Structure 1
Amino acid sequence: MKKSSGQPLKQPSQQRSRITVQAILEAAIHIFDEFGYAAGTTSRIASRAGVSIGSLYQCFPNKDSILTALAEQHLAEGLALSVRLLETLRTSTQALEPVLHDIVGHMIVLHENNPGLHRLLYEEGLLPAQLRQTAKQAEQFLIEEGARCLSQRHDVADVADRQMQAYFVVHAIEHFTHRLVIDQAPVEFQLRGKNELVSMLLRYLQA
């Protein structure tokens, strides 16, 4: 039983429905990580979630729509966290170094939550096409906000192209925190990597 639409059939309106949807999404993360996307069938997802296959199809028409929902949730969580961290960068009275440590630490934790999902969406290129533009728009928003926040700190070097400065900061944090988690680096190496990233950003921003 597989329907054609790539979007959820309905939005959960009751607490029980929301719990069922979340159980399906969490189960899908584990199934995709364990079996891969191709072999991560809806039957396996339903069994891991503890729901009937019929209940799954009442919430999602197929496996693609489950992946889309996971990607949407991931992008929303990442954007919300990034906005909070940028606001900390703008308003904190702490020195730049501890603020950067806090930002990098939170981004590592974000990636650690679902490393399998990160691999699926980015390493294997399965981020749904309709969400790629959403991701690009979120990225541009963070760069613009980052430029604004950096310009308001007295301990960041004044540069002619603040947007370019923010571009490199945003992408450096995203790329290296992503790699430290996806590559399953040992804890000791991950800690050294975090410190190295902070040191690199500090030198760049105060040069």
Structure 2
Amino acid sequence: MPTLLNPGQRRQPKQLRSRLMVETIVEAAHQVFSEHGFEGATTNQIAERAGISIGSLYQYFPNKDALILDVQRRHHEDVLTTVKNAMQLSGVLPLRDAIRSVIAANLDMHLQSPKLHAAFEEWIPAESKLVDRDGFRKEMATVIRAFLSKRPEIAQAAPLDQTVFVIMNMVRSVMHASVRDQGSHVDRTKVIDTLTDSLLGCLQPVCVGR
């Protein structure tokens, strides 16, 4: 059963040296959770990977629970960065190619660390308030809405809120399912193409000349 931490339980670094150490610990935790999952990882492994003593780690993170929370916060930032970069690079492509490019970048990022994503799903309760899922979803919705509103294929002043809601939840479900089933019956190309076509279908009502 996951431990529900008080969000203020982790010591907050103030000096630059301490902030750099925390970043090093979180990166080490990201690597160890990616390799061993939540249950298989230990704080000793993480401290060793970070090149610090276990005592130094415990100064900032009281246990694995605190570490996985910070790793997921950073994961949310990485997902947003990946999506934003893919959107920027695909801005001049036709709509289908642009959507496919963004989906491919997002999926590839998720498939790189299946054990890490399994750790998120298995350990952090969906109702936990310790991870700002609402903030992440709102920012992602803003990013997608801005991307679509700039596309010449999308009608000006089209109502995008419900479309973005459906797109986000469809993509999230497929990404997580692909990570869970990786190595069994997941065909990366078919997943990307099918999801691309599904999103294009969602966009038909707001496209120009529909």
Distance 1:138 1:33, change over 3 A: closer
TM-score between both structures, scaled by the size of structure 2: 0.74
The answer as to 2:107 corresponding to 1:104 is no
SS at match of 1:177: helix
Q: Give the counterpart letter for 1:24 in structure 2.
A: I
Aligned to 1:171: 169
- Aligned match of 1:7 in 2, 6, 10? 10
Choose the corresponding residue for 1:155, options 153, 156, 163.
153
Q: 1:7 to 1:73 in 2, by over 3 A?
A: same
Look up the SS of the partner of 1:147 in the other structure: helix
Normalising by structure 1, we get a TM-score of 0.75
Contact 1:12 1:21 in 2 (8 A): no
- RMSD over equivalenced CA pairs, Å: 3.3
In structure 2, do the counterparts of structure 1 residues 10 and 163 end up closer, same or farther at CA, with 3 Å as the change threshold?
A: same
Go from structure 1 to structure 2 and tell me whether the alpha carbon gap of 1:199 and 1:148 turns closer, same or farther (over 3 Å shift).
same
Aligned counterparts of 1:130 and 1:182: Cα–Cα separation in 2: 24
Does 2:117 match 1:118?
A: yes
Aligned length: 199
> Unpaired segments of 5 or more residues in structure 2?
1-5, 206-210
Q: Is the 8 A contact 2:10 2:66 kept in 1?
A: yes
> Residues 108 and 12 (structure 1 numbering): CA distance in 2 closer, same or farther, change over 3 Å?
farther
The aligned runs of 1:55-204 (5 Å cut-off) are 55-86=56-87, 92-126=91-125, 129-132=128-131, 134-156=132-154, 161-185=159-183, 189-204=187-202
In 1: Cα distance, 2:11 partner to 2:129 partner: 14
2:96/2:196 contact within 8 Å kept:
yes
CA offset digits 1:159-201 (Å, max 9, x no partner) = 9642101111122222212322332146971221111111221
Q: 1:5-61 CA deviation, whole Å, 9 max, x = no partner? A: 6324425613x962x444433443454456553563322322344422122223323
Structure 1 vs Structure 2: percent identity of aligned residues?
Answer: 25
